[in-house]
Amino acid sequence: MRSLAGFAAALLGAGRLAQAVQVLQLYQFPNATQFIENIAIRRNGELLLSTFDDGRLYALDPLAKDPEPRVVAKVPDATGLTGIAEIEPDMFAVSCGINNLTDFSMVEGSAKLVVVDFNKVTDGVTPTVKTFFAMIPNARMLNGMAPLPYIRSVLMSADSKNGRVFRTDYFKNGKSDVAFEDRKLAPGKDPKLATLGINGVKIVHMWLYFTNSERQTIGRLRIDEFGNRKGPVEEIVRLPASSGLMPDDFSMFYNGTMFVAAHPNSVLKILPDGTWTALVGGDSAAKLDGPTSTALTRDGKTLYVVTGGTGSGRGGQVVAVTL
């Protein structure tokens, strides 16, 4: 593995090194099949982890002395969980399906959204799962997901294979349609790094921000309050092809600063003007093994990072970065 200094030099001057941060691994799954795809933070501070582990959603208390994940939901007829978003206090929508891990797609007809509600528990600790929220059978890979700011029951979901964004309304019996699609949201014509286009999705000030893993870009486009497209795709950052960095899911601070998980081993900090830094890289105290997503605490002081663990023979990691 190259040193972080060498890694930064390979970025052709487009980015620069960030100031040192404290990086601590909280937990790593022992089984390589326990690939963590996404993360969300509950109101009580617990972390929710969506995984490619037979449809299981995990929770982990990051402040515990010895953090240990527990299964809080098992989604039937799903092998992999991907995007996760809070639509009401302590109520989360989760995208899922039967995954084909050879090309990171979902088996045709299996893509759907479910709701995990921590306000309604069956035994004092286990949330209820509404297993039929919306079926989206023509989605090839549901991935990152974000609610509309003014209508949080409406979710905007990335379809990473087709370069589309689906719009689904929880309170209208899961009615779903394609809000928009664009070739800049799709993988390239000859994918070299990945077969995934649009991946992570967040909405801030009526801009829908996204990452495109294969094209190595971070961009945005203007939408209205109903999720309709109002402008062209704007490119914020294009990572150097030689870096091999593939942006995945991300989190955003209120001022527009992005914290992007990037394969194979980095977290990038991207300012609103497009200036970016390698916040965490190869020489960190905790080695990141295939970062997939980040979650920022409300005070902006701690960034949680999750990984797939695909290269170590072990499962995904949960890592805390003190900013």
The three-class DSSP label of residue 32 is: coil
Distance CA 59, CA 50 (A): 9
Tens digit of each residue's pLDDT (9 = 90 or more) over 68-92: 999 999 999 999 999 999 999 999 9
Tens digit of each residue's pLDDT (9 = 90 or more) over 236-254: 999 999 999 999 999 999 8
Section 102-110 average pLDDT? 90
Region of poorest pLDDT, from 55-64, 84-93, 95-104: 95-104
Q: Where are the domains of the chain?
A: 4-322
* Assigned CATH for 4-322: 2.120.10.30
Q: What is the pLDDT of residue 3?
A: 35
Q: Above pLDDT 70, what percent of the chain?
A: 93
Q: How many CB atoms sit inside 10 A of residue 241's CB?
A: 12
Q: Strands 16-17 and 276-280, how do they pair? A: parallel
Q: What is the pLDDT of residue 100?
A: 86
The three-class DSSP label of residue 130 is: strand
Taking the CA atoms of residue 25, residue 30, residue 34 and residue 38 in that order, the dihedral angle to the nearest 10 degrees is -10
Tens digit of each residue's pLDDT (9 = 90 or more) over 134-191: 999 899 999 999 999 999 999 999 999 999 999 999 988 899 999 999 999 999 877 7
**Cross-sheet strand order for the sheet of 36-41:** 36-41, 47-51, 56-60, 70-74
Top-confidence residue, 216 or 14: 216
Q: What is the pLDDT of residue 5?
A: 35
Section 19-31 average pLDDT? 89
pLDDT of residue 122 exceeding 80, the answer is no
Q: What is the CA radius of gyration of the chain?
A: 18
Which neighbouring-strand residues pair with 211?
A: 218
